[in-house]
Amino acid sequence: MREHPITRIGILLVLFRLAGLAVRYLAQTDSSMRERLALLLPAASVHAGALLALVVLFLVCAKLLPSRRRTVAVVACPGFALLMVAGQADLTVSSITGAPLTPTVFRTFRGFHVVRSNEFLEPLRAHLPLAIAGVAMFATVLVLIALVIRNDERRQTTAPLSWRGVGALAGAGFALMWIPEWVPWPVPPPPIEVAFAREYLRQDHVQLRGSEQDAIRELRRVVGLPSHSAWLSDAYPLVYGSTARLTPPHARFDLPDIVVVMIESLRAEELGFVTGARDSATPNLDALAVRSAVFPAYISNGFPSAPSVLAFHSSAWPHRRKEIITDFATRGFDSIPSRLRDFGYEAIYIGADPNFDNQDIWLPRWYSKVIDLVASGTAATDRNIVNRAIEEIQQHDAKTPDKPLFEFISTYSTHYPFSLPSDAGERPL
């Protein structure tokens, strides 16, 4: 069976994927080799197992159709080549967005738009030698596949193929897929083949182990309840209120303006007021923190940007296998700007290219005014975003000074691959 063309092409497919995984995980120089191997080995096991399962499917077809075995092998060639490209795209997108290329992520980033966007192309340009090496390796594999098919056509005898060999290969594939579930190492994201198969076979649903009430009770137990507080409603399981008697509010009170600045991809390790580092990349934020209330242990409720934006606005925890912002777009979610608009606020959003990850579906529901610099033809730099935000505040204060304002500013320039904007007016650190 080792001489069968489908087996040999399948081995090339597996080796190509393993090489991509090695580059993906071993190139992370910010962690130890032990930590990198702990990520690589389970991922390699799952990916190799999934690909072997696909190879087995083609071998079964060749076994059941002996007169069409070469046709099956020829059909397998473009199929395996497509899987090589898809697998590498999956690894590249996950390294950029933090999420594997599942069907729901594919829909969120508007299909092939993600591989044509700067977020995908800029990292390739930044690592051009590595990208060229990958293309050269892919071309080499295609040449080897062509040679395998040509040599098979020249053979006088048919390469043997037994059910025992096919069964052994299938067993090896399924064993490799299940090993990470039973070994105490990090469970890797599913390969792109498994992710698509789960959705189209309707095996990607998430079910509670018990009743919804049991889940709410367990969630509240884990989160905990502050003293002198009580849970308010099962509709919003984590919303609580004080049980202490409060002084009745005055009949009239001033509603403050609220400005939220979301800094893209800013991690706590870069903040001097969190790490205590003297040479900080964020001196202005450090100065602001001195006279502010700071939450140094705050952890984002979602990752990457799309689920985190939804979590901030609506307190919706990310779905384990779906993107709420895409697959639950017809649902209505209570949100901060919607609540504030009920209190008389004007809600304004300023950002750049929110349609990249499907946020443009939700923003008009939340905000009375949505400003997209990319759609208006303005360069998507943070300087332009902040200047426009200041202009909107000034216009609001001039036209409706008695109306409270909620403004959400979504920065853009600090998104990977971290290229310094041309209008930054400073040199890279």
Summarize the confidence of residues 95-112 as an average pLDDT.
Answer: 74
Mean pLDDT for the stretch of residues 185-206: 83
Are 388 and 297 part of one and the same domain? yes
Summarize pLDDT for 60-69 with one digit per residue, the tens: 998 898 888 8
Q: Are residues 123 and 152 in the same domain?
A: yes
**pLDDT for 115:** 65
Please check whether residue 420 lies inside any domain of the structure: no
Please determine, for residue 252, whether its predicted confidence score (pLDDT) is greater than 60: no
User: Is residue 419 in a domain?
Assistant: no
What is the DSSP secondary structure assignment for residue 354, as one 8-state letter? G
Same-domain pairing of 228 and 178: no
Q: Is the pLDDT of residue 153 over 90?
A: no
Mean pLDDT, the chain, rounded, equals 84
| The most confident of 53-57, 262-266, 354-358, 372-376, by mean pLDDT | 53-57
Which is higher by pLDDT, 98 or 364?
A: 364
Highest mean pLDDT: which of 115-124, 154-163, 200-209? Answer: 200-209
Lowest mean pLDDT among 82-91, 210-219, 317-326: 317-326
What is the number of structural domains in the chain? 3
The boundaries of the domain holding residue 325 are 255-410
Hey, which of 115-119, 142-146, 158-162 has the most confident mean pLDDT? 142-146
Task: Give the per-residue pLDDT at 281.
Answer: 80
Q: Provide the percentage of residues in the chain whose pLDDT is more than 70.
A: 90
Could you tell me which residues come within 8 angstroms of residue 323 by beta carbon, excluding any fewer than 6 positions away?
A: 104, 105, 107, 108, 306, 307, 358
Please tell me whether residues 240 and 306 are part of one structural domain: no
Q: Give me the pLDDT at residue 234, please.
A: 83
Based on the fold, state whether residues 301 and 394 are members of the same structural domain: yes
- Tokens of residue 89, six digits: 């795209």
423 in a structural domain: no
C-beta separation of 38 from 25 below 8 A: no
- Distance in Å from the first CA to the final CA of the chain: 57
Model pTM score: 0.74
Helix axes 128-154, 69-97, angle to 10 degrees: 170
Same domain, 305 and 392: yes
Question: In the block, which residue shows the tokens 């080499």?
Answer: 140
- Does 55 fall in a domain? yes
| Residue located via tokens 């200047």 | 387
In a shared domain, residues 134 and 244: no
Q: Which residue has the higher pLDDT, 317 or 37?
A: 37
Secondary structure percentages of the chain, helix, strand, coil, to 5: 55, 5, 40
Partners of 410 in the β-ladder: 262
Residues 236 and 309 in one domain: no
What is the Cα–Cα distance from 41 to 48, expressed in whole angstroms?
10
Task: Give dist(CA 352, CA 105) in Å, integer.
Answer: 20
- Close Cβ partners of 258 (under 8 Å, ≥ 6 residues apart): 340, 345, 404, 405, 406, 407
- Residue pair 313/347 in contact (Cβ under 8 Å)? The answer is no
Q: What is the pLDDT of residue 397?
A: 94
Shared domain check, 84 and 9: yes
Q: How confident is the model at residue 113 (pLDDT cuts 50, 70, 90)?
A: low
For residue 21, the model assigns a pLDDT of: 92
Same domain, 54 and 181: yes
Mean pLDDT over 332-351 rounds to: 92
d(CA 170, CA 55): 9
Identify whether 234 is part of a domain: yes
* Confidence band for 190, pLDDT divided at 50, 70 and 90: confident
